[in-house]
Amino acid sequence: MLFEEIYENYFKDVFRLCLSLTKNEENAEDLAQETFVKALSALDTFDGSKDIRAWLFTISKNTFYSECRKKKWIADGEVPEDIPSSEQDFLEVISDKESAVKIHKYLHEMKEPYKEVFHLRVFGELEFEEIGSIFGKSASWARVTFYRAKNEIKKYMSENGEI
């Protein structure tokens, strides 16, 4: 597949992920462009064993985290203020800015694939079918993995007196 085709086929998905991370269209556009610049320079290292969208999402996420560290967004609390959830009490807890920062710190330490699945579902706003296909698994696998990740976060929050 030519790089042009990759860009045309996946830019919207990468941009949506970047927008969910940055909460700002201009920053999302910059992050998406940076993702494709990095992907172009590393295209020869892509072996095709994973879905190319997952590879691009990983580049986006890592680029975002690098920017966060450079600009000290996380330390300054300039992270997204809430994480969508299907459960209202969980949403109320994590919509608090201080709790959101704690959750983002915990997410950074969370093991794969829980971290990635949670991130793709919540920040990337992807359907379980899409997440499953990125990992080469079923939608049910993605649902279960997301549920377990959410429970890990709830447990962490309750242990720290947040819930």
What would the two tokens of residue 25 be?
A: 């269209």
- Percent share of the chain, pLDDT over 70: 79
Look at residue 153 and tell me whether its pLDDT is greater than 80: yes
Rounded mean pLDDT, 102-119: 83
Q: What is the pLDDT of residues 67-91, one digit of tens each?
A: 777 765 543 344 444 434 334 444 4
pLDDT at 40 over 80: yes
pTM: 0.47
Q: Which domains does the chain have, with CATH numbers?
A: 1-78 (1.10.1740.10), 81-163 (1.10.10.10)
Looking at per-residue pLDDT, the higher value among 133 and 45 belongs to 133
